[in-house]
Chain A
Amino acid sequence: GESVGLHLPTLSVQEGDNSIINCAYSNSASDYFIWYKQESGKGPQFIIDIRSNMDKRQGQRVTVLLNKTVKHLSLQIAATQPGDSAVYFCAENMRGAGSARQLTFGSGTQLTVLP
């Protein structure tokens, strides 16, 4: 199976509320994690990333939390807006053979923002 997975396939939140999207990973060798957003008919868009030497990183309205003990990653979106409706993917980035990097994506969570 996939080494990166999401707990919930869908999430509905009220406009203005905070959203939390979760992701579990299984490879302890992964040292870099990224969140992407994919709107319908478009390619994924980079949101925020975090390296394994950090446990929290904040961006504009988004925060990523990393818990290496339980191999868990979360994306928090503050004051969720209709434009945040999309599929969100987590991805883990680890060093493979030699200096090559491998990128593994989670299955995605569909976030729907309700008016």
Chain B
Amino acid sequence: KAGVTQTPRYLIKTRGQQVTLSCSPISGHRSVSWYQQTPGQGLQFLFEYFSETQRNKGNFPGRFSGRQFSNSRSEMNVSTLELGDSALYLCASSLEGIRSGELFFGEGSRLTVL
């Protein structure tokens, strides 16, 4: 079965712009969680959605938001981009959510903010 698909894979934005990233989970998975990965901070949890509801949220400013659609596809949005938002953004899908730990990650969307 198809894995987790993230689009776009690479993108370049400038400070002040906004960006929307998309994640299509594995068929049948209702949980999608998002992570930011940087060399300095490592992997950090952004938020988790389950059946269209945000179930949990990490310690990120309100500029970072997300949503999940009825088909479980999810998007995350970052507004008013800052240089420090440059990172690899990963999404993961699972049947039960992060409570199970067995997350299936996509290959990520690499965002560069200039």
Alpha-carbon distance A96/B101, docked complex (angstroms): 15
Alpha-carbon distance A2/B44, docked complex (angstroms): 10
Whether B56 and A105, one on each chain, are in contact in the complex, defined by CB atoms closer than 8 angstroms, is no
Alpha-carbon distance A42/B55, docked complex (angstroms): 26
Return the 6 tightest CB-CB contacts between A and B, nearest first.
A43-B105, A105-B43, A34-B101, A100-B56, A49-B101, A101-B99
A33 → chain B, closest Cβ, in Å? 8
A96 → chain B, closest Cβ, in Å? 7
Alpha-carbon distance A11/B16, docked complex (angstroms): 40
Question: Which residues on B sit within 8 Å (CB–CB) of A49?
Answer: 101-102
Determine the main DSSP class of B at the interface with A. strand
- With A96-B56, A101-B98, A101-B99 as known contacts, state yes or no: A46 contacts B104, CB within 8 Å: yes
Whether B103 and A46, one on each chain, are in contact in the complex, defined by CB atoms closer than 8 angstroms, is yes
Determine the main DSSP class of A at the interface with B. strand
Kindly list 15 other residue pairs between chains A and B, CB separation below 8 angstroms, not including A44-B90, A105-B45, A108-B43. A32-B99, A34-B102, A41-B107, A42-B105, A42-B107, A43-B4, A89-B43, A93-B99, A93-B101, A101-B99, A102-B45, A104-B45, A105-B42, A105-B43, A107-B42
B30 → chain A, closest Cβ, in Å? 15
B110 → chain A, closest Cβ, in Å? 10
Question: Which residues on A sit within 8 Å (CB–CB) of B101?
Answer: 32, 34, 46, 49, 91, 93, 103
**Size class of the contact patch on chain A:** 20 to 34
Within 8 A of B (CB), among A23-79: 32, 34, 41-46, 49
A57 → chain B, closest Cβ, in Å? 12
**Size class of the contact patch on chain B:** 20 to 34
B98 → chain A, closest Cβ, in Å? 5
B interface, CB within 8 angstroms of A: 4, 33, 35, 42-45, 48, 55-56, 58, 90, 92, 97-99, 101-108
Alpha-carbon distance A103/B90, docked complex (angstroms): 14
A interface, CB within 8 angstroms of B: 2, 32, 34, 41-46, 49, 89, 91, 93, 96, 100-108
